[in-house]
């Protein structure tokens, strides 16, 4: 089965509602007019690169906030797993559980055979338009804070 192509830059970001490690569910469209959103899809909780990446988002939380960006980590892990991951790694950003993998499929990040997501980034502006995407060639690669902030500041 061929994975769907990710949404194109300049098009509306596919809307979704997912359970969160915060309070309740997060609906992407609820951020329209309020904040830019960086969706950071990651393969699995409790893996080395994923732990480092989510910790870096947390350490740089105020820098993302200063450019009016909300960052969400998105994975196929369950909410209880993500809550434990968040607690054990002192992560402050909310993470979203795409346990049914529908959002990963809509964004073209799901590795169907492995049943988890590629590491990928989707920057959605305050109008709900996708402004930048990047999918890592290797699961162990990740974008750095400087590059991500530069993309957000360019909006």
Nearest CA among 107, 117, 151, 118 for reference residue 132: 151
d(CA 86, CA 107): 24
> Which of 28, 45, 50, 54 does the annotation list as catalytic?
50
> 127: which residues sit within 8 A by CB, 6+ positions away?
32, 33
Q: Count the Cβ atoms, other than its own, within 10 Å of residue 21.
A: 23
| Residue 50 appears among annotated catalytic residues | yes
Tokens read off for 143:
């974008």
Query: What's the CA gap between 50 and 99, in Å, rounded?
Result: 17
For residue 62, count CB atoms less than 10 angstroms from its CB and return exposed for 0-12, middle for 13-18, buried for 19 or more: exposed
Q: Show which residues are catalytic.
A: 50
């Amino acid at each position: 089965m061929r994975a769907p192509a990710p949404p194109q830059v300049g098009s509306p970001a596919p809307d979704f509602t997912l359970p969160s490690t915060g309070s309740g569910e997060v609906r992407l469209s609820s951020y329209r007019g309020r904040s830019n959103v960086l969706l950071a899809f990651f393969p699995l909780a409790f893996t080395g690169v994923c732990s480092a990446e989510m910790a870096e988002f947390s350490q740089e939380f105020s820098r993302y906030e200063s450019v009016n960006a909300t960052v969400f980590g998105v994975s196929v892990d369950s909410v209880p797993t993500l809550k434990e991951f968040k607690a054990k790694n002192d992560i402050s950003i909310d993470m979203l559980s795409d346990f049914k993998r529908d959002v990963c499929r809509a964004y073209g990040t799901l590795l169907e055979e492995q049943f988890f997501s590629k590491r990928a980034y989707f920057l959605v502006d305050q109008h709900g338009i996708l402004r930048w995407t990047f999918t890592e060639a290797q699961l162990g690669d990740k974008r750095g804070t400087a590059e991500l902030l530069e993309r957000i500041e360019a909006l």
